[in-house]
Amino acid sequence: MDLPWAEPWRAKTIEPIRRSTRGERESWIADARYNLFNLRSDRVYIDLLTDSGTGAMSAAQWAEMMLGDESYAGASSYHKLKATIEELLGMPYFLPTHQGRAAENVLMSTLIGVGSEGAGKLVPGNSHFDTTKGHIEFRKAHAVDLTVAEAFDTQSLHPFKGDVDLRRLKDFLEANPRERVPLCIITVTCNSSGGQPVSMANLRASSELCRKFGVPLFLDAARFAENAWFIKRREKGYAEKSVREIVREMFSYADGATMSSKKDGIVNIGGFIAFRSRELWEKASTFNIMFEGFNTYGGMAGRDMGALSAGLREACEEDYLEARVGQVAYLGEKLESHGITCQKPFGGHAIFIDALRFLPAVPRAEYVAQTLGIEAYIEGGVRCVEIGTLLADRDPDTRQDRYPALELLRLAIPRRVYSNDHMDYVAATFANVFARRDSIRRGLRVVREAPILRHFTVELERAL
């Protein structure tokens, strides 16, 4: 008989978590103004708010923490990380930053400009992540979403819903002069469309189009290893290739990449920008020194660079990826067994629940996905995050809510943290909410919000 699946790791340290009462949770979420980001972590039982910086580091990574070289300039930890990035990604130049959005800030300052220098510029891509879009719009430029249409049908089984629509990309590049398009950025995997992968064929074709029109192509590579795993499993011609071989080919089509290392780097803090061009690296170095720090430490301690070097290698291990993506699918299958509609095929780092199908009675203007997230917290102490109208922010010109094609609730699973028993608990929590969904007919309204990236700090109240 086939042996059952088991996690390719064992626990050496545990962190106790406490189950609260329903009454406590109702009080706590009201005090948090119905913003799940405002909750104290010790008031959350299962925390699926994000997979960013929440993973468990390995023994090898903890060993690197003790070996960190904290020299201001030329630290050995920097050179260790530089060698790893060049070996895995094929990028000879990089700048360390304190996290992914810092990398975006440096890159956008370099390619789009600072202040209002970006006015009128356009950045095409595949459903830009919230901070990516925020950095673009902060510079008065516009993010242009060219994701394939299948991404917005949760029941479509298209294997690569993160793909760029190549016809639309070609038309866009033909219609806009080069000086208006400072870069194209493709997110792998594409978080905003449900943790969906981008195919190698799509990366290759997108690269050819960008090079034809002289537009630099960058990857948002926060979950590059998960993307490579899906290519290996789903794309013809790659089943026999190693994940490392696939990763090298993915990055060969790009001029550079930003990375939040808190995802597939499996560390608690850190990020970087990788470059193929020394000239562009030198230009970006000016902003990195201004915003982050000297080029050989940026926004990172030496110990964190060492841990990241080990984490990037571990993220490319195939038994780890099988377990990682497998646990996400396990939760998705459990939820769907209760009749709950999720984005399919299941993504690499999270399950995305279709909130509009879950709560059809809640008006769209009352933030349906956020409402579902609040109900899940009250029901079982499970914290998730809205990927919908709140996250979409207001239109920068009209200041009206932007309604995305999908209202999703993301259940992001930290790496190497929770067992499948925890996933069973999460599924049971949502099953209980689903059983009483007909009684949930009103949502939330905004009391106070920031002008950009409002979902982090917004204050809400129940709509009456």
Mind spelling out the 3-state secondary structure of 71-88? CCCCCHHHHHHHHHHHHH
CA distance 18 to 12: 20
Token readout for 379 is 């029901």
Residues noted as catalytic: 72, 129-130, 220, 222, 263, 455
Half-sphere exposure of 24 (CA within 13 A, CB side): 12
CA distance 404 to 387: 9
Q: Are 181 and 121 in contact (CB under 8 A)?
A: yes
Q: Are strands 350-354 and 408-412 parallel, antiparallel or unpaired?
A: antiparallel
Instruction: State which CATH number among 3.40.718.10, 3.40.640.10, 3.90.1170.50, 3.30.1950.10 fits the domain covering 59-315.
Output: 3.40.640.10
pLDDT value for 310: 98
Q: Are 366 and 375 in contact (CB under 8 A)?
A: no
pLDDT value for 160: 98
Q: pTM of the predicted model, to two decimals?
A: 0.95
CATH superfamily of 22-51+318-462: Aspartate Aminotransferase, domain 1 (3.90.1150.10)
CA distance 381 to 28: 11
CA distance 204 to 231: 13
Residue 320 dihedral angles phi and psi, to the nearest 5°: -65, -45
DSSP 292-327: T--TTTTT--HHHHHHHHHHHHHHT-HHHHHHHHHH
Q: Are 305 and 265 in contact (CB under 8 A)?
A: no
Cross-strand bridge partners of residue 387: 408
Examine residue 258 and say whether the peptide bond preceding it is cis (omega within 30 degrees of 0). no
Residue with tokens 């013809």: 236
Each residue's pLDDT, cut to its tens digit, for the chain (464 residues) gives 787 778 898 999 999 999 999 999 999 999 999 999 999 999 999 999 999 999 999 999 999 999 999 999 999 999 999 999 999 999 999 999 999 999 999 999 999 998 788 899 999 999 998 889 989 999 999 999 999 999 999 999 999 999 999 999 999 999 999 999 999 999 999 988 889 999 999 999 999 999 999 999 999 999 999 999 999 999 999 999 999 999 999 999 999 999 999 999 999 999 999 999 999 999 999 999 999 999 999 999 999 999 999 999 999 999 999 999 999 999 999 999 999 999 999 999 999 999 999 999 999 999 999 999 999 999 999 999 999 989 877 887 888 888 888 999 999 999 999 999 999 999 999 999 999 999 999 999 999 998 888 989 999 999 98
Task: Provide the residue ranges of all domains of the chain, joining segments of one domain with +.
Answer: 22-51+318-462, 59-315
User: Long-range contacts: 203-211, Cβ < 8 Å, 24+?
Assistant: 203/250, 203/253, 203/254, 204/253, 205/166, 206/164, 206/166, 206/169, 206/253, 207/253, 207/254, 209/166, 209/169, 209/170, 209/173, 210/173, 210/184
Token readout for 385 is 């995050």
pLDDT value for 5: 76
DSSP 336-392: HHTT--B-SS--SSEEEEEHHHH-TTS-GGG-HHHHHHHHHHHHHSEE-EEESHHHH
CA distance 464 to 461: 9
pLDDT value for 402: 87
CA distance 154 to 141: 30
E strands along 161-221, which residues? 184-187, 217-220
Token readout for 375 is 């109900």
pLDDT value for 453: 85
Cα-to-chain-centroid distance, residue 165: 20
CA distance 182 to 114: 13
Query: Any residues with CB less than 8 A from the CB of 450 and at least 6 apart, and which?
Result: 456, 457, 458
Half-sphere exposure of 31 (CA within 13 A, CB side): 9
